[in-house]
Amino acid sequence: MKKVLLSLLIVLFVLAMISLLIVAIQGVGERDRIALVYVRGPIIDVREKVKELKEYGEDDSIRAIILRVESPGGAVAPSQELYYEIKRINELKSVVVSMGTVAASGGYYISAPAELIMANPGTLTGSIGVIMEIPNVEGLMDKVGLKTEVIKSGRYKDMGSTLRQMRPEDRKLLQDIIDDVYSQFVNDVAVSRKMDINKVRGLADGRIYTGKQALDTGLIDELGGLEDAIRRTAEIAGIEGEPNVVTKKEKKSLWDSIEGKVAGSVSDIFPHLRLNYIIYP
């Protein structure tokens, strides 16, 4: 009876050790994870992306983050929100940017603070600059016989109105705002990329660059696609073997779909129309 009990205890001990070993192996695998975060389309509402990045930044099982950027730009403040969140996380763990077809203007801005920026040779990036476009329909209003009466609290309250010609003082005030935001953009790129600010300013005249040209100018670090970025991120994070890449399924509401279709239709009809606030185009 004692021998049977001893044998049973030995078997249980061996099974317990095997279980602990399996858990340990799985734990190592769980700690060797890379998060893949997608930023697609115009950068307008970034609350969910900031939340997602923050969660990955605080998750000890995530060794590094890949930011896949497919964006032509967006509004100033949201782009800056993403920029500062990525900059903060990159101080905790490596952030690698993988540029897709286009990562320009605001799309480049949010990429700048990453530890490593990769792009395909034909990626369109750069477009470092700021723009505000305000349609003027005063002539059309005159033709159809429509007039508006404006009651305002201050001289500049209707600044940027589409219903009248812009006054010189309005233009100067708006130009000062554009220049200030542009300086913020250039300075953030220079600091993040560790480049001379005058060199950045020379590159930041609104032009776009291919991935290959961006590499030559120092705006990105390496050429390669998403799979290359995954391999490089694993190397940077010290992960041996095939990394475990995790990503969140993007939820898209019915309103998002409708809004996207409407925006696309308006853009097709009025290719130069811009929302009435400053954007990184």
202/154 Cα distance (integer angstroms): 38
Tens digit of each residue's pLDDT (9 = 90 or more) over 99-149: 999 999 999 999 999 999 999 999 999 999 998 888 888 888 888 888 888
Label each residue of 139-169 as H, E or C.
HHHHHHCCCCCCCCCCCCCCCCCCCCCCCHH
Q: Is 105 a catalytic residue?
A: yes
Tens digit of each residue's pLDDT (9 = 90 or more) over 186-207: 999 999 999 999 999 999 999 9
**Annotated catalytic residue within 54, 157, 172, 199:** 157
CB 81 within 8 A of CB 50: yes
Contacts of 93 by beta carbon, 8 Å cutoff, 6+ apart: 57, 62, 63, 64, 65, 237
CB 75 within 8 A of CB 44: yes
8, pLDDT greater than 80: no
**pLDDT on residue 25:** 47
Backbone phi and psi for residue 244, each to the nearest 5 degrees, phi listed first? -90, 105
Q: Is 212 a catalytic residue?
A: no
Find tokens 């078997």 and name the residue: 11
Q: Which region holds residue 73: left if phi is over 0, alpha if psi is between -120 and 50, else beta?
A: left
pLDDT-derived band at 20 (thresholds 50, 70, 90) equals low
CB 246 within 8 A of CB 34: yes
Specify the pTM: 0.79
Contacts of 110 by beta carbon, 8 Å cutoff, 6+ apart: 39, 43, 67, 69, 71, 79, 82, 83, 86
**pLDDT on residue 222:** 98
Mean pLDDT (the chain, rounded): 84
Tens digit of each residue's pLDDT (9 = 90 or more) over 202-232: 999 999 999 999 999 999 999 999 999 999 9
Domain ranges within the chain, ordered by starting residue:
33-250+270-280
Q: What is the mean pLDDT of residues 79-102?
A: 97
**pLDDT on residue 138:** 84
**pLDDT on residue 27:** 46
**pLDDT on residue 162:** 84
Backbone phi and psi for residue 112, each to the nearest 5 degrees, phi listed first? -55, -40
Q: Which CATH number fits domain 33-250+270-280: 3.40.50.150, 3.20.20.70, 1.10.30.50, 3.90.226.10?
A: 3.90.226.10
pLDDT-derived band at 7 (thresholds 50, 70, 90) equals low
**Annotated catalytic residue within 79, 98, 105, 161:** 105
